[in-house]
Amino acid sequence: MADFITLSCPSCGGKLEITNDVERFACAHCGQEHIVKRSGGTVSLSPVVDALKKVGVGVDKTAAELAISRIQREITALQIARSNLLSVNPRPALSPAVPLTTLLLGIALLGIGIIITCSVGGSNDPNHTALPASIACLVPGVLLLILSQWLPKNYHPNTSNWDQTIGVQIKSLDAQIAVKEAELQRNKDFVYN
């Protein structure tokens, strides 16, 4: 092998003479720094910037891996805080007796309305005196049946104070968890893709 190898600068195309012992140098024509790569009898040049980019990607992946662990701990801490807040301050719930009472009263009024309509109404009641009485029972009965189904899902007494204090804190924790989960996913995508 000769004492000098002649190559062209990948940046400017200038002729370069490299000795066997050189591993890094700057082009005399453009000043770009290069790393000499020797492999299997071939010699090539790689700009130092490319090597730094590879190091940067490695550093970024390491940082993302560390961030994944940190973010998972932060999400767990936020979930524990949320759980503790709810265990100490549960949302007020409607007593099960209220919808049950409403349901039973609705059934009773419907039954009374049907009995009035069937026993007094029809052709035996030419003045239609039973009709207002049966409507007075049937309509509230139907409304109470509907209300008995709506109450457990939609009505919670004494929740306005809870919503303005604990509810706001829960929403804040939920928002923080969502932000952390998005950040966690970005880091996972960077590391694993």
Domain residue extents for the chain? 90-192
Q: What CA dihedral angle connects 74, 76, 82 and 84, to 10 degrees?
A: -120
How far apart are the C-alpha atoms of 97 and 158, rounded to whole Å?
A: 17
Give me 108's structure tokens. 């009773």
Q: Which is nearest to 76 in space by CA: 191, 182, 166, 181?
A: 181
Instruction: Give the pLDDT score at 1.
Output: 46
Q: Which is nearest to 93 in space by CA: 38, 170, 153, 8?
A: 153
Give me 60's structure tokens. 């970024």
Instruction: Give the pLDDT score at 41.
Output: 73
**Residue spans of the chain under pLDDT 50:** 1
